[in-house]
C-alpha cells in the first residue's frame, strides 16, 4: 500500500485526528550537509468515536520515524516541516499542545520531584487553561499513580525507582492530562524482557480505557504486532510509509503477552511483517 493510499483511506465523516499532507523534512538545506529525513509523507488517522487507534511504526534506523513523531508533537527543534502540512482534527499544527502527550525512550522524570510531584507537574502548569483546582490535581494524580501500579511509591524520587517504575511515572504524567493523541518513541527499549512484557500489557489496557490515538515507534516486530491495531513499515530515508498492515490480531490484555504471542495467528502475523521488513532492508540505497 502506498503513502497516497494510506492518506485517502478515510472511513469517518469527522475530521481526521491526524493527517500528514505531502510532508517533507530536510536538515541543513542548501549546505554540503543537506539530508532529507522525510519526503512525500502522507497518511490519515480517522476519528473513531468511542475508540482510538494504536499505530505501531517500524523501520530501518535513520528512516525518519522519530522526525515524524517530533513534527507531530510540534517540538521547536524539528518543527515546522520543510514542505507539506500537518493537521490535527482539520487544524494546522502550530507547535506543542496539551492535546498531545509524549513518552520518550529515555526516562524523563524531574529528578528533584517525587513521583506525585512529577505526575502533577503538567496539571499544575496548565491549571488555569484547564480549570484544575488543587484538589483536582492531587486526586487525579493519585488516581493515575494507582492505575500504573505505583501507589506505594508516590513519595519516592526517580533515582529510588527501577527503570520500569520510571516509565510508569512517565505514562501517568502523560495520561493524567487526558491527551487525545499519545506519542511514544521506543518507550520500552531500555527495559528487561519481563518488565517490557508487563509494560506492553499495561499500556494496551490503559489505552483502551482512555480511547486515545496512539502512535508508537518500536524496533521490535513482535511488540508492534502485539500492541498495534495497524503496523506501518517505513522505507529507508528519506522516510515514507512503504507498507501498512491492518489485519493484526487483537491483543487480549487478559492473557500474558507470551501466551498471546504463542498463538498461530499471532506468529503468522509476525512472519508476514518480518518478511516485508526484510524486503525493505534489501532495498537499502547504495551510497557512493
Domains (ranges, CATH) in the chain?
A: 3-99+179-282 (3.40.50.300), 109-178 (no CATH)
pTM: 0.90
The stretches in the chain having pLDDT less than 50 are 1-5, 7-9, 288
State the pLDDT at residue 87: 97
DSSP 22: E
The pLDDT of residue 9 is: 47
And the C-alpha cell for 79? 518543527
- Contact (Cβ atoms closer than 8 angstroms) between residue 188 and residue 177: no
Return d(Cα 211, Cα 226) in angstroms, integer: 18
Q: Under DSSP, is residue 27 helix (H, G, I), strand (E, B) or coil? A: strand
CB-count burial class (<10 Å; 0-12, 13-18, 19+) for 113: middle
Q: How far apart are CA 65 and CA 235, in angstroms?
A: 10
* Residue that the C-alpha cell 491549571 belongs to: 127
Q: How far apart are CA 64 and CA 124, in angstroms?
A: 33
What is the structure's pLDDT at 101?
93
pLDDT tens readout for residues 129-161: 888 999 999 999 999 999 999 999 999 999 999
Could you report the per-residue pLDDT of 264-280, keeping only the tens digit for each?
Answer: 999 999 999 999 999 99
Predicted local distance difference test score (pLDDT) of residue 6: 57
Amino acid at each position: 500500500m502506498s503513502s497516497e493510499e494510506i492518506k485517502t483511506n478515510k472511513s469517518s465523516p469527522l475530521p481526521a485526528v491526524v493527517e500528514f499532507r505531502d510532508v517533507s523534512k530536510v536538515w541543513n538545506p542548501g549546505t554540503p550537509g543537506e539530508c532529507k529525513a522525510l519526503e512525500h509523507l502522507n497518511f490519515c488517522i480517522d476519528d473513531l468515536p468511542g475508540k482510538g487507534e494504536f499505530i505501531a511504526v517500524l523501520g530501518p534506523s535513520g528512516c525518519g520515524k522519530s522526525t515524524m513523531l517530533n513534527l507531530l508533537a510540534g517540538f521547536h527543534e524539528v518543527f515546522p516541516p520543510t514542505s507539506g502540512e500537518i493537521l490535527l482534527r482539520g487544524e494546522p499544527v502550530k507547535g506543542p499542545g496539551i492535546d498531545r502527550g509524549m513518552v520518550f525512550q529515555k526516562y524523563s522524570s524531574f529528578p528533584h520531584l517525587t513521583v506525585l510531584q512529577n505526575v502533577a507537574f503538567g496539571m499544575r502548569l496548565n491549571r488555569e487553561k484547564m480549570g484544575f483546582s488543587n484538589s483536582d490535581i492531587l486526586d487525579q494524580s493519585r488516581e493515575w499513580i494507582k492505575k500504573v501500579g505505583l501507589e506505594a511509591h508516590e513519595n519516592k524520587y526517580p533515582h529510588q525507582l527501577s527503570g520500569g517504575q520510571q516509565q510508569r511515572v512517565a505514562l501517568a504524567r502523560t495520561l493524567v492530562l487526558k491527551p487525545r493523541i499519545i506519542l511514544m518513541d521506543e518507550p520500552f527499549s531500555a527495559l528487561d524482557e519481563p518488565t517490557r512484557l508487563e509494560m506492553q500489557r499495561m499500556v494496551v489496557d490503559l489505552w483502551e480505557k482512555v480511547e486515545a490515538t496512539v502512535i508508537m515507534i518500536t524496533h521490535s516486530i513482535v511488540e508492534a504486532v502485539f500492541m498495534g491495531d495497524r503496523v506501518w513499515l517505513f522505507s529507508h530515508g528519506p522516510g515514507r510509509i512503504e507498507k501498512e498492515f491492518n489485519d493484526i490480531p487483537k491483543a487480549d490484555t487478559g492473557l500474558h503477552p507470551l501466551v498471546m504471542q504463542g498463538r498461530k495467528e499471532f506468529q503468522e502475523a509476525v512472519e508476514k511483517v518480518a518478511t516485508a521488513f526484510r524486503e525493505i532492508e534489501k532495498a537499502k540505497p547504495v551510497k557512493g
